[in-house]
Amino acid sequence: MLEPVMFTGGVYKHDLVIELVEDLGGYLLQKNVTQSEVILLLLVPAEDLKILEDLTKELRGELTRAPLAGTEVAVVTPTLAIHHLPHTACDIAEYLRRNGSKTNMIGLARGVGREIAQINEYETALINEHDVAVFLFGNFAKCIIKKEELYKGINIPVVVTGGPEIPKGEMPYAFEYVSSVGRIAHRSKKANEIGNLDRIVAAVGRALDKMRADIEKDPLTTSPPRVMDVVREQVPDIERSYSPLPIALNLTGCRIKLPYDEYHEAIGDVRFDEGVTLKEIAKILPSRMKNYTLVRILPESETGMVF
């Protein structure tokens, strides 16, 4: 069982942490260097966590649990206008990031209004590439209920936020509804506002747990971090990708930030130690996000093996 954790500390000797995690059989998901500080998102075997904790103490760093690490969350607003940004949308996205998730903000083209709100096929498909979507709505109960149309066609769990209390029965298509958020024109800083952000993170966590439980019923042939590792090793061009996170992990695969047309064959031919290639155990698809490549790992029932 791999435990998702976040290491925060000085740049000096932080490579010792990376080395240790690799020796323990864990994975480095993301590395962010900000001047003299470094933030590492790691997956570490739960039983060896103590060793990493000791090293962190020695380096005067900080190790916190990042329950959403290795997942991608979409924060969806009706549009990218001043009504939703920077408060609420950025606060929520940033808070999810602090808990380790890779968060993308998506503004719909025509998501505004009660009667006129729409979502198109491209937007739906883009949101479906994530693990969980968080839809941010406003302060009027009737509008929030009516706007169900926007997320009806989405296959991943949808956490809806809004202002007023609404009974769960009114919103059958939402995985969970988090109230008392709504539209806010100031930064979240009061204790109750931070509490609301915690409730959103908890709801996203529950949605992810449900996804994990669903996957567990028919386990994936291999784990996404493993795919990330071999792709990093065997497709060296990934190092030249300008994205801060060249390989973003999902629960069912990963998004590789290399152009699909040029690289999908190279990525498909990546070979595991077990002798199989990636294209035998996964679907390599063009992503809706830019021209990236999407990898979806097939379950055991389709490939007949797990490693």
Partner 1 sequence: MDPLEVYKVEAPGEEFGARKYREIILDILQDLGLVRSIGRLYVYVDIEKPYFAVYGMLRGSLPPLRVGDVADVVKTQEGYQVKVNEEEHLADMLKVLWEKYGRDRVEQPDRDLLTVSSDVSPADLIVTDVDAEFRRDLTDALIRIAPEGFRNRRNEMTEDSFLFIASEETITPELIEEVREKIRGMENA
Amino acid at 117: A
Q: How far is the CB of 29 from partner 1 (least distance, A)?
A: 36
What distance, in Å, lies between the first and last C-alpha atoms of the chain? 14
Q: How far is the CB of 107 from partner 1 (least distance, A)?
A: 11
For residues 41 and 3, the answer to whether their CB atoms sit within 8 Å is no
Tell me the window of 61-69, 139-147, 194-202, 277-285 that interacts with partner 1 (CB under 8 A).
139-147
Tell me the window of 11-19, 30-38, 59-67, 138-146 that interacts with partner 1 (CB under 8 A).
138-146
* Residues within window 161-190 making contact with partner 1, judged by CB under 8 A: 163-165, 182-186
For residues 75 and 96, the answer to whether their CB atoms sit within 8 Å is yes
Q: Of the candidates 14, 84, 102, 255, which one interacts with partner 1 according to CB under 8 A? A: 84
Q: How far is the CB of 224 from partner 1 (least distance, A)?
A: 37
The angle that helices 191-217 and 89-98 make with each other, rounded to 10 degrees, is 60
Pairing of the two strands 158-161 and 132-136: parallel
* Residues within window 143-162 making contact with partner 1, judged by CB under 8 A: 143
Q: How far is the CB of 275 from partner 1 (least distance, A)?
A: 55
d(CA 48, CA 90): 35
Q: How far is the CB of 154 from partner 1 (least distance, A)?
A: 20
116 binds partner 1 (CB under 8 A): yes
Locus of tokens 């695969």:
253
Q: How far is the CB of 136 from partner 1 (least distance, A)?
A: 12
80 binds partner 1 (CB under 8 A): no
141 binds partner 1 (CB under 8 A): yes
138 binds partner 1 (CB under 8 A): yes
Q: Of the candidates 83, 97, 98, 283, which one interacts with partner 1 according to CB under 8 A? A: 83
Backbone dihedral angles phi then psi of residue 227, each to the nearest 5 degrees: -60, -45
194 binds partner 1 (CB under 8 A): no
Q: Which of 182, 132, 187, 184 is nearest to 161 (CA)?
A: 182
Q: Of the candidates 11, 33, 81, 194, which one interacts with partner 1 according to CB under 8 A? A: 81
Give contact residues for partner 1 (rule: CB under 8 A): 78-79, 81-84, 112-117, 138-143, 163-165, 182-186
